Amino acid sequence: MIHITALDHLVLRVQDLETMLNFYRDILGCPLERAKEDLGLYQLRAGNSLIDLVTVDGKIGKAGGAAPGREGRNLDHLCLRLDPFDGEAIRQYLSSKGLEAGPVERRYGAEGTGPSIYVLDPEGNTVELKGPPDDA
C-alpha cells in the first residue's frame, strides 16, 4: 500500500537560471543546497522539501521539450507553506522586491482552509504562499 507523507520535491524547467535563483533563493529565502552544473540541476531547500531548478538547455532540461512560458507552462502552480503568516507584511515585502502579489484570500490546502497569496515567479509560474489553516 502506498502512504504519502509529504511532498519531497518539485522540478521546474527554467530558461533564466540567475533570475529564478534570485526569486527562490534571495526573495523567498530557499537556500541553494546542491548544484550539479553538469546536469543543469540546482536544488533549493524549502522546509522539508526541495525545489529543483533545471535549465532547459542542460542535460535533464533538454529531455523536456520546448521551454516553459506564459502560453505553455510546465505546471499550474506550486504552494509553499509559510509560518508565521502575516499577509500584509508578505505583500509589502514582495512589493519592495518589485513583485505584484495578489490579495490575501482563503484557499483550501493540505491542512485545510487558510490564508494564501499568489505571486508569479520570473518565468510566469504561479507560486502560492500559504498560511496555517483557520482552525489552527
Tally Cβ neighbours within 10 Å of residue 103: 10
Grid coordinates belonging to 10: 518539485
Q: What is the model's pLDDT at position 2? A: 60
Q: What is the model's pLDDT at position 74? A: 72
Q: What is the model's pLDDT at position 123? A: 87
Q: How far apart are CA 120 and CA 99, in angstroms?
A: 8
Q: How far apart are CA 34 and CA 37, in angstroms?
A: 10
Between 77 and 5, residue with greater pLDDT: 77
Tell me the whole-structure pTM to 2 decimals.
0.81
| The pLDDT of residue 55 is above 70 | yes
Q: What is the model's pLDDT at position 7? A: 86
Q: What is the model's pLDDT at position 89? A: 95
Q: What is the model's pLDDT at position 59? A: 85
**Given pLDDT bands bounded at 50, 70 and 90, which one contains residue 5?**
confident
Q: What is the model's pLDDT at position 99? A: 96
| The pLDDT of residue 63 is above 80 | no
Q: Which of 47, 52, 54 is nearest to 6 (CA)?
A: 47
- Give every CB contact of residue 108 below 8 A, 6+ residues apart in sequence: none
Question: E-strand spans in the chain?
Answer: 9-14, 32-36, 41-46, 49-55, 77-81, 105-109, 112-120, 126-130
